[in-house]
Amino acid sequence: MDEDAGHALDDPLRTKGTSFTHEERRELGLLGLLPHAVTTLDEQVRRSWGEVRRQATDLDRYIYLRALQDRNERLFYAVLAADVPTALPLVYTPTVAEGCRRFSEIWRRPRGLYLSWPDRDHLVEALRNRRQREVDVIVVTDGQRILGIGDQGVGGMGIPVGKLSLYTLIGGIDPARTLPILLDVGTDNPTLLDDPFYLGWRHHRVDDDAYLEFVDAFVAAVRSELPDVLLQWEDFATPHAHPILERYRDRLLTFNDDIQGTAAVALGALRGATEVAGVPLRDQQVVMLGAGSAGIGVLEMVRQEMVDQGLTADEARARCWVVDVRGLLTTDRDDLSDAQRAFAHDPAEVAGWGVEGLPGLADVVTHVAVGVLVGLSTAQGAFTEGIVRTMAGRVERPIVFPLSNPTENAEARPADLDAWTDGRALIATGSPFPPLHRDDGNDVPVAQCNNVYIFPAVGLAVTAARATRVTDGMMRAAAGALGDASPALSDPRAPLLPRWADVRDVADDIALAVARQAVAEGVAPAASDDELRAAIRRTRWEPSYGAPERPR
């Protein structure tokens, strides 16, 4: 947080949660501090939203809101909280993608820490330069795989800043106890390397050995300075994401949102979808288009859920199919990671399909009664009309989740999916889309599988419960609580996930489920549900009254 932002939190001339008394107004007026009267927080929120709406583009709105965050952090969060559905796409996906692309161009003030490879011998010193002495949550990225737009170098800092804004808005984490970090190990983006205004280390990315040594040094610095912090890995490229998670998950309080958060929100949406479809997940054939860390993470959580529903591990894997840019993952391929190979099929299983080379997505849908089709490929339009109609011809309620971000990378548009399936498809997307129009004049909102349903609640849970680890069981508890909140469970015509207007309330329920699981697994001190609820309430920061009483 910069100096101005910190002072703004306690400046009554900028923000006051209740109306000023006549005496207060008169006193301030006599001091000549304002021409007539001091505005309340509510009045400033309305004024700020008017300014947001006057901006010409969503990028301009993003820039305005980020400037407001720098200038007056309490007002910034009050503005977001006043209209969560409108605010989310402006401060995060999809608008944040353009903010990352143009980061060096629109940069105004520093926020967070930039840890650069040339300074690798001084990471502890750099970490000690943070403005936030006590930190509950760090979000870190190396900028290599930002959303669906690739290597953005230091422009990737827009992601930790945006994520931590949502930790506060949704999860109630005190913004003064959050820290965005960018690991600047170079960039292979030629546009950035040639940009005279690029703010990062102007160098190609270091090789893997040097990279892992740098990450090791970073983790050691964090453990030394902030041993109890929650460390979230964000937008790391597939070759690094899984190995980093596996290397550190048992050493500190950490998780990868692209792998585990995406999986949890997708599984939460699937719980509602399979209930409406009337076919349990254990009886579904699931196809994933995209074999990156997010796609494999989703399938791993799906597999675990199938096992919980009664299948053996092998039976569950047999119902999971993965297709990447080359085609179906099969055991005879030599280009698969260990995580990918876990979902590869024996080539003998598909030998009778009559396909030359590796089967593609259309081949799988043609020969398998696919009930669930998920996309995390960034391949725009990959769910074609032919593929979707074939799928809809095999199952009564096809479940189709085009989850790639940003919007232009979605595998299909919900309106097309709805038309191709005669309104039978159960749909969730990764980016926001307009509602589906029905002949009766009703509009049906499209569920957005945004990780914001999960990670802020996880942050709230581990902070309140004083957890020491984030386990798979805790992430699946989050998915279960989200699935239980699906509006479709009570109304099959409703969206698969809760309204954005309700997401802050839903976060408390998810946080309780995660905290309860942490206690059950012995990674948090023993506590009853009532004690956990009280700790969650104490932890929550609200812009109307500021910092909460600390639970520890």
CB of 532 closer than 8 Å to CB of 465: yes
What is residue 196's three-state secondary structure?
coil
Residue 60: exposed, middle, or buried by beta-carbon count in 10 A (0-12, 13-18, 19+)?
middle
Q: Residue 102, annotated ligand binder?
A: no
**Residue 97: both structure tokens together:** 């993608």
**Residue 39: both structure tokens together:** 């505005």
**Alpha carbons 228 and 253: distance in angstroms, whole number:** 7
User: Distance between alpha carbon 481 and the CA centroid of its chain, in Å?
Assistant: 17
Instruction: Enumerate the β-bridge partners of residue 269.
Output: none
**Alpha carbons 477 and 513: distance in angstroms, whole number:** 6
Q: Residue 46, annotated ligand binder?
A: no
CB of 477 closer than 8 Å to CB of 513: yes
CB of 548 closer than 8 Å to CB of 540: yes
**Alpha carbons 62 and 86: distance in angstroms, whole number:** 12
**Alpha carbons 496 and 109: distance in angstroms, whole number:** 39
Please state, in angstroms and as integers, the Cα–Cα distance from residue 36 to each residue in 14, 15, 75, 87, 254, following that order: 14, 16, 21, 31, 51
The phi, psi pair for 447, rounded to 5°, reads -65, 135
Q: Residue 121, annotated ligand binder?
A: no
Q: Residue 450, annotated ligand binder?
A: yes
Q: Which of 63, 54, 77, 80 is nearest to 500 (CA)?
A: 80
Q: Residue 72, annotated ligand binder?
A: no
**CB contact set of 445 (below 8 Å; sequence gap of 6+):** 435, 495, 499
Using CA atoms of 173, 175, 181, 182 in order, give the dihedral in degrees to the nearest 10.
110
Q: Residue 258, annotated ligand binder?
A: yes
Catalytic residue among 16, 62, 77, 163: 163
Q: Is 92 a catalytic residue?
A: yes
The phi, psi pair for 293, rounded to 5°, reads -60, -35
Give the angle 345-348-353 at the CA atoms, nearest 5°: 95
Order of all β-strands in the sheet with 137-141: 113-116, 178-184, 137-141, 230-233, 254-256
For 476-543, the three-class secondary structure string (H helix, E strand, C coil) is HHHHHHHHHCCHHHCCCCCCCCCCHHHHHHHHHHHHHHHHHHHHHCCCCCCCCHHHHHHHHHHHCCEC
Instruction: Report DSSP letters for 113-126, one per residue.
Output: EEEEGGGGGGHHHH
Secondary element (H or E) of residue 302? helix 293-308
Q: Is 16 a catalytic residue?
A: no
- Helix axis angle, 529-539 to 503-520, nearest 10°: 130
Catalytic residue among 16, 62, 77, 92: 92
Which residue ranges make up the annotated binding site for (S)-malate? Answer: 145, 405, 450
Which residue ranges make up the annotated binding site? Answer: 145, 234-235, 258, 405, 450
User: What amino acid positions are annotated as catalytic residues?
Assistant: 92, 163
Which residue ranges make up the annotated binding site for a divalent metal cation? Answer: 234-235, 258
